[in-house]
């Protein structure tokens, strides 16, 4: 028998063996990594646990998103001494997330915070498999029916970014602002648009050049994105990345200014720091956990896509301290804008909003709701860069 | 390809297989090897314990918790088996070219391309065909795509004399860009969400082994191990590969079709990695996402080295890597150690075992 025929025979054998293996197995179930429901259905979901779990997509000391989550979990540790707080960092946005959450449930967690946008699929899966556990997801939106033991929550991140845009629009000398972002999701798009509109409100010539990295935290890509922006004459850089250090250091090294994101990183940019939009999760996390342990989760505002902003309460996303480039006049403009955003008719997107292609995205005089902004899928005029969709 | 090896010419003796050691000698060597393994692993855990102590964690507690939540928990065992299936297939993708003296560092990209082909096939076929047919088509598509992807590196090696370690590695980045392009543009399910394809139709998902959450990927992987073992150990092709791997010049003088052999090894490797991508896609993820299959190729590369490029030990090496991943959860959840801690343990084990390999070779030569 020649080597080729033998190989063919081996291949045919493999296919045959596979066919046997496939037919002898049970039918596929749609379940992911479900270990079966635990606990009884009579009690309210989320009650009776001994632990609270937090999964984070990146490291808990990233000068950004995940550090803010970790700081929030530390507050829960203090406020609820009876509950053990278990955290897992670097949990990818795939099936690994479900596995880690299952482990947390086995360790007594009845409340789980899945804190990255892409953790939603796994979170929904785990929530369906464990009706007695409340899984609550940070930043994404559940588009179909919300399970009684699920919910999402977030701040209106684009509101402080609008205010930061005002500061950036005043500070820029080249009228070119740079934005490093991860994925063209509505949350990010709204941020970029709000930033540009804030800048435009004080500087009509300001434009925002965007670069995508396709990753929440990839320092190598961040570095090249920042360098590419700086080489185009951008003198203020901001970002929507989980880890923010690389971009800020790159800007500072080239003498450009920085608007921070997620966490106060002014220590990284003593010269160029303008301001930033940063998280203060403590109060919101505390209220969510309190609601769940009180057995009042089902039907509560958290058992839905909960969004809180200047209009509706205490936005967990706040403006970071100002750097020295921000003058008194700019500060006053920001205060005025903030007061405006807090009114019923206030929004960074009060019509008319003109989209990048010249079409009218929001009609004159119309004020989009938080939910409408959450579905934003276009760049506004003044934003440079193609939105891949 | 000719049917049998041509008779060796007198001036170019064929490399001879090492003579079989007598049984008593082998027993002694086995005992020696066992002692070395224990010493190497013990050393790795000792260093790791020192690290744990420096992090204010009690090593005994950490090991006990990790053991309990990894091996004394049904779901964890199942998780290990689920994780190990693509590792095994992607490790075999290193084993086969390694037999011919080549380094296939492109598992990462071949896994992605295999999954892309599988996903594309499933989307093209839709619900028109029964699930099992779709699965077989996805497997074939994944294998063909993986083979072609590796074939690019093979062709470049043969035509342009570019080292395959470099090309396979660089093709990983191209594969990632192909994936990103597809899920950002033509295959994107939800234009406003994070880029991902739509979920694989339920009928085409790999079935589960009865009563578990484990998909049949592991069965496919074990079959592949056996087939690769047979092909490498008992066929002319496998023997020719090791001749080429041992001394390509000698093989050429002996009349072996070296170019064809090298290319075939890479193609088979690519096909296996492509199959790994299909198994991970249709058995675990069901969707292509930006980080799809990340680290499978590189982990498998290490696993193949750990197994010294032998198909059967690959199973054990991949089990170890999968178990370490699952044990990493416990290090974080129970002991509150940073996520990277488990990578240090993995690195220590790898260094210890590879160091042990070198010393055996010296001792044996």
Q: Are residues A102 and A249 in the same domain?
A: no
CB contact under 8 A, B290 and A375: no
pLDDT digits (tens, 9 = 90+) for B295-328: 899 999 999 998 889 999 999 999 999 999 898 8
Domain span at residue A123 reads 51-155+281-308
- Which of A94, A124, A212 to mutate to test binding with chain B, by most B CBs within 10 Å of its CB? A94
- The set of long-range contacts for A38-41, using a CB threshold of 8 Å and a minimum separation of 24, is A38/A105, A38/A130, A38/A132, A39/A110, A39/A130, A39/A132, A39/A133, A40/A132, A41/A131, A41/A132
CB contact under 8 A, A3 and B235: yes
pLDDT digits (tens, 9 = 90+) for A2-17: 545 554 444 444 444 4
Instruction: Give residue A253's pLDDT.
Output: 94
A196 close to A385: Cβ distance less than 8 angstroms: no
Residue A350 has pLDDT above 70, yes or no: yes
Residue A298 has pLDDT above 80, yes or no: yes
Query: Comparing A31 with A218, which gets the higher pLDDT?
Result: A218
Q: Which residue of B has its CA nearest to A24?
A: B209
Instruction: Give residue A32's pLDDT.
Output: 36
Q: Are residues A196 and A266 in the same domain?
A: yes
CB contact under 8 A, A102 and B332: no
What would the mean pLDDT of A294-312 be, rounded to a whole number? 91
pLDDT digits (tens, 9 = 90+) for A47-105: 989 999 999 998 888 888 999 999 999 999 999 999 999 999 999 999 889 999 999 99
CB contact under 8 A, A103 and B193: no
Instruction: Give residue B23's pLDDT.
Output: 63
pLDDT band of residue A31 (cuts 50, 70, 90) is very low
Residue A363 has pLDDT above 50, yes or no: yes
DSSP string for residues in A323-355: -TT--HHHHHHHHHHHHHHTSTT--TTPSPEEB
Query: Comparing A46 with A17, which gets the higher pLDDT?
Result: A46
Q: How far apart are CA B103 and CA A40, in angstroms?
A: 54
Q: How is residue A232 written in tokens?
A: 């185009």
Residue A296 has pLDDT above 50, yes or no: yes
Q: Does B334 touch chain A (CB under 8 A)?
A: yes
Instruction: Give residue A323's pLDDT.
Output: 92
Q: Are residues A293 and A364 in the same domain?
A: no
pLDDT band of residue A122 (cuts 50, 70, 90) is very high
What would the mean pLDDT of A31-45 be, rounded to a whole number? 49
Q: How far apart are CA B288 and CA B199, in angstroms?
A: 8
CB contact under 8 A, A103 and B329: yes
**ipTM (interface predicted TM):** 0.78
Average pLDDT score over chain A: 87
Least confident interval from A329-338, B18-27, B90-99, B317-326: B18-27
DSSP designation for B339? T
Q: Are residues A261 and A295 in the same domain?
A: no
Q: How is residue A334 written in tokens?
A: 């920001």
What domains, with CATH codes, occur in chain B? 50-203+211-355 (1.10.3470)
Q: Are residues A121 and A216 in the same domain?
A: no
What region, left, alpha or beta, does residue A46 occupy, with left being phi > 0 and alpha being psi -120 to 50 degrees? left
Q: Are residues A148 and A168 in the same domain?
A: no
Q: How is residue A196 written in tokens?
A: 């540009």
Q: Is residue A343 part of a domain?
A: yes
Instruction: Give residue B69's pLDDT.
Output: 87
Element of type H or E holding A257: strand A257-262
Q: Are residues A151 and A162 in the same domain?
A: no
CB contact under 8 A, B191 and A389: yes
pLDDT digits (tens, 9 = 90+) for B1-16: 444 444 444 444 444 4
What would the mean pLDDT of B26-53 be, rounded to a whole number? 86
Q: Are residues A229 and A371 in the same domain?
A: yes
- Give the count of Cβ contacts less than 8 A between chain A and B: 155
Question: Which chain A residues contact residue B332 at CB under 8 A?
Answer: 86-89
Identify the residue whose tokens are 């129970």: B334
Q: Is residue A9 part of a domain?
A: no
Average pLDDT score over chain B: 88
Q: Are residues A61 and A199 in the same domain?
A: no
Which B residues 130-149 touch A at CB under 8 Å?
Answer: 131-132, 135-136, 139
- Which of B332, B338, B340, B344 to mutate to test binding with chain A, by most A CBs within 10 Å of its CB? B332
Across A169-256, the runs of DSSP E, i.e. the strands, are 176-181, 207-212, 236-240
Q: Are residues A222 and A285 in the same domain?
A: no
CB contact under 8 A, A21 and B230: no
Least confident interval from A379-383, B264-268, B338-342: B338-342
| Number of domains into which chain A is organized | 2
Q: Which residue of B has its CA nearest to A89?
A: B339
Q: Is residue A276 part of a domain?
A: no
Q: Are residues A227 and A337 in the same domain?
A: yes
Q: Are residues A210 and A335 in the same domain?
A: yes
Identify the residue whose tokens are 């940070």: A138
- CATH number, domain containing residue A236: 3.40.50.2300
């Amino acid at each position: 028998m020649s080597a080729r025929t033998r190989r063919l025979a081996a291949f045919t054998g493999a296919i045959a063996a596979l066919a046997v293996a496939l037919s002898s197995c049970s039918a596929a179930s749609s379940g992911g990594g479900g270990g079966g429901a635990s606990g009884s259905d009579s009690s309210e979901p989320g009650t009776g646990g001994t632990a609270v779990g937090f999964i984070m997509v990146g490291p808990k000391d990233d000068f950004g998103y995940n550090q803010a989550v970790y700081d929030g979990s530390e507050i829960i540790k203090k406020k609820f001494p009876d509950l053990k707080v278990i955290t897992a960092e670097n949990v990818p946005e795939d099936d690994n997330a479900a596995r880690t959450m299952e482990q947390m449930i086995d360790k007594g967690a009845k409340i789980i915070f899945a804190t990255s946008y892409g953790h939603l699929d796994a979170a929904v899966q785990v929530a369906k498999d464990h009706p007695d556990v409340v899984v609550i997801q940070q930043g994404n939106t559940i588009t179909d029916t919300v399970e009684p033991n699920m919910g999402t929550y977030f701040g209106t991140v684009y509101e402080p970014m609008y205010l930061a845009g005002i500061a950036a629009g005043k500070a820029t000398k080249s009228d070119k602002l740079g934005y490093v972002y991860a994925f063209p999701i509505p949350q990010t798009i709204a941020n970029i648009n709000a930033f540009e509109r804030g800048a435009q409100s004080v500087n009509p010539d300001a434009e925002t050049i965007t670069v995508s990295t396709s990753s929440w935290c990839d320092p190598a890509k961040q570095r090249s994105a920042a360098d590419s922006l700086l080489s185009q004459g951008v003198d203020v850089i901001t970002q929507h990345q989980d880890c923010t250090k690389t971009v800020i250091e790159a800007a500072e090294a080239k003498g450009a200014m920085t608007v921070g994101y997620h966490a106060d990183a002014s220590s990284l940019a003593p010269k160029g720091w303008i301001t930033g939009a940063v998280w203060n999760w403590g109060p919101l996390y505390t209220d969510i956990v309190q609601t769940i342990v009180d057995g009042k989760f089902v039907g509560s505002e958290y058992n839905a896509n909960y969004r809180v902003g200047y209009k509706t309460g205490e936005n967990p996303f706040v403006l970071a301290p100002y750097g020295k480039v921000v003058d008194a006049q700019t500060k006053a403009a920001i205060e005025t804008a903030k007061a405006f955003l807090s009114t019923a008719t206030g929004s960074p997107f009060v019509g008319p909003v003109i989209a990048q292609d010249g079409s009218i995205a929001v009609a004159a005089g119309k004020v989009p709701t938080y939910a409408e902004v959450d579905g934003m899928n276009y760049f506004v005029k003044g934003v440079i860069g193609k939105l891949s969709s | 390809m000719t049917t049998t090896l041509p008779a060796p010419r007198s001036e170019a003796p064929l490399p001879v297989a090492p003579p079989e050691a007598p049984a008593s000698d082998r027993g002694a060597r086995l005992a020696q090897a066992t002692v070395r393994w224990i010493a190497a692993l013990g050393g790795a855990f000792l260093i790791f314990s020192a690290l744990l102590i420096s992090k204010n964690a009690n090593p005994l507690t950490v090991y006990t918790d990790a053991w309990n939540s990894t091996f004394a928990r049904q779901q964890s065992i199942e998780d290990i088996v689920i994780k190990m299936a693509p590792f095994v297939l992607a490790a075999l993708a290193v084993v086969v070219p390694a037999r011919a003296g080549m380094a296939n560092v492109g598992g990462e990209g071949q896994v992605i391309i295999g999954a892309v082909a599988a996903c594309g096939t499933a989307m093209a076929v839709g619900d028109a065909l029964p699930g099992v047919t779709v699965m077989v088509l996805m497997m074939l598509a994944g294998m063909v795509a993986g083979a072609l992807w590796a074939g690019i590196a093979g062709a470049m090696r043969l035509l342009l004399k570019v080292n395959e370690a470099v090309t396979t590695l660089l093709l990983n980045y191209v594969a990632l860009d192909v994936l990103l392009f597809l899920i950002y543009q033509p295959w994107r399910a939800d234009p406003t969400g994070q880029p991902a394809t739509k979920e694989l139709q339920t009928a085409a998902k790999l079935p589960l082994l009865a009563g578990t959450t484990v998909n049949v990927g592991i069965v496919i992987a074990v079959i592949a191990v056996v087939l690769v073992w047979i092909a490498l150990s008992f066929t002319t092709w496998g023997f020719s590969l090791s001749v080429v791997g041992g001394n390509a010049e000698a093989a050429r003088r002996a009349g072996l079709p070296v170019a064809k052999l090298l290319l075939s090894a890479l193609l088979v490797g690519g096909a296996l990695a492509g199959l790994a991508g299909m198994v991970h896609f249709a058995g675990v993820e069901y969707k292509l996402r930006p980080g799809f299959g990340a680290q499978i190729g590189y982990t498998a590369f290490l696993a193949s080295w750990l197994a010294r490029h032998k198909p059967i030990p690959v199973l054990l090496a991949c089990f170890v890597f999968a178990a370490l991943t699952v044990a990493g959860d416990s290090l974080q959840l129970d002991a509150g150690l940073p996520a990277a801690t488990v990578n240090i343990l993995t690195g220590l084990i790898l260094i210890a075992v590879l160091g042990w390999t070198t010393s055996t070779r010296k001792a044996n030569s």
